[in-house]
């Protein structure tokens, strides 16, 4: 593995639904350790782009590679195991499962004990489950969620649910974390906490982050670079300062706010 291959390389990728080109000709390169923002007006294709990256949709053109390895046409769970993990725009926790079980589901692909060993309760089952449990407890402590451990996920306050969703995505041990509007529906204080959390994640985990966000304070505050998507096409990329002053971006998206 050469260090100059980018972690994620999206080459001219696009998807067409019938006659609608939801995303087209997108080129994105992310280096290891970067925190990159993806912004754009509603319906610009940001979430569709995430769905392309995670294998929910198969790109109709172009290619996506992680660490130089092509991901085309792989099932979403395989892409997750290769190292791309995500959160969702509308929180998608396993709401009837406890907080800790939500995290354990993310550890499932690492489980060493087989179905048969669980059914017959051989020692391998107990050691496997205990190891998983201890790991999950340690993990929740990092996110300050251990006090809710046995609570059902649906009973958590909104901000904590977002936190848990990010924690769960990280538990899957990604190299690239995709955050889809993590600050949506949060009050300013919760957004502040989220920014701290993102900073913490970068520090603790060796990770590249791509995040979709409408909260400009957050995007401009934490991102190293920003891509701007409009009508399914990239219209600009650069540092926050460059984006803020890009006339195309101002016209398409930022509007009066920045002028």
Partner 1 sequence: MTILKSAKGFWLSILLSIILFAIIQFLIIGEYLNGFYINTIFFMGINIILAVSLHLIIGITGQFSIGHAGFLAVGAYASAVVSMKLGLPFPLAIIMGGLVAAIAGLVIGIPSLRLKGDYLAIATLGFGEIVRIVFLNIDYVGGASGLQVSHLTTWPWVFVCMMITLLVIRNFTNSTHGRACISIREDETAADAMGINTTYYKVVAFVIGSFFAGIAGSLYAHNFYIIQPSNFGFLKSFDILIYVVLGGLGSMSGAVVAAILLTIISTFLQDFPETRMVIYSILLIVMMIYRPQGLMGTREITSFFKKKKSVEGGPKDDNQHTVA
CB of 149 to partner 1, least distance (A): 5
If binding is defined by CB under 8 A, does position 17 make contact with partner 1? no
Residue closer to partner 1, measured from CB, 191 or 208 = 208
**132: phi then psi, degrees, rounded to nearest 5:** -60, -45
Per-residue x/- marks for partner 1, 85-104, CB under 8 A? xx-x---xxxxxxx-xx--x
Please give the structure tokens belonging to residue 85.
Answer: 């993990």
H helices within the chain, ranges in order?
Answer: 46-53, 76-82, 99-107, 115-119, 123-142, 158-171, 188-204, 216-222, 240-244, 247-249
- Write the binding mask 116 to 135 for partner 1: x where contact by CB under 8 A, - elsewhere: --xxxx---xx-xxx-xx--
Cβ distance to partner 1 smaller for residue 77 or 158:
77
Distance CA 153, CA 10 (A): 34
Q: How far is the CB of 250 from partner 1 (least distance, A)?
A: 34
Structure tokens belonging to residue 144: 């300050």
| Site for partner 1 contains 9 (CB under 8 A) | no
User: Helices 99-107 and 158-171, interaxial angle, to 10°?
Assistant: 20
Q: Could you say whether residue 108 binds partner 1 (CB under 8 A)?
A: yes
The Cβ-side half-sphere exposure at 202, using a 13 Å CA radius, reads 17
Residues contributing to the site for partner 1 (CB under 8 A): 54, 56, 75-77, 80-81, 85-86, 88, 92-98, 100-101, 104-109, 111, 113, 115, 118-121, 125-126, 128-130, 132-133, 137, 146-152, 168-169, 172
């Amino acid at each position: 593995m050469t260090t100059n291959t980018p972690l994620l390389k999206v080459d001219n990728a696009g998807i067409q639904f019938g006659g609608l080109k939801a995303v087209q000709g997108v080129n994105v390169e992310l280096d290891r350790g970067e925190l990159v923002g993806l912004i754009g007006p509603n319906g610009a294709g940001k979430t569709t782009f995430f769905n392309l990256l995670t294998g929910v949709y198969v790109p109709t053109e172009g290619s996506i590679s992680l660490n130089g390895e092509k991901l085309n046409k792989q099932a979403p769970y395989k892409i997750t195991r290769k190292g791309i993990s995500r959160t969702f725009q509308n929180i998608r926790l396993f709401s009837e499962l406890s907080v800790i079980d939500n995290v354990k589901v993310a550890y499932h692909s690492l489980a060493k004990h087989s179905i048969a060993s669980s059914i017959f309760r051989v020692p391998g089952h107990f050691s496997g489950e205990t190891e998983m449990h201890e790991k999950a407890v340690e993990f929740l402590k990092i996110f300050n969620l251990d006090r809710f451990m046995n609570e059902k996920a649906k009973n958590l306050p909104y901000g904590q649910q977002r936190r848990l969703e990010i924690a769960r995505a990280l538990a899957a041990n990604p190299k690239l974390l995709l955050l889809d509007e993590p600050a949506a529906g949060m009050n300013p204080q919760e957004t502040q906490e989220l920014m701290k959390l993102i900073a913490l994640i970068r520090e603790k985990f060796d990770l590249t982050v791509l995040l979709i966000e409408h909260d400009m304070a957050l995007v401009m505050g934490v991102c190293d670079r920003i891509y701007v998507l409009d009508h399914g096409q990239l219209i600009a990329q650069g540092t926050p300062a460059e984006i803020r002053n890009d006339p195309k971006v101002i016209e398409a998206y930022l509007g009066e706010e920045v002028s």
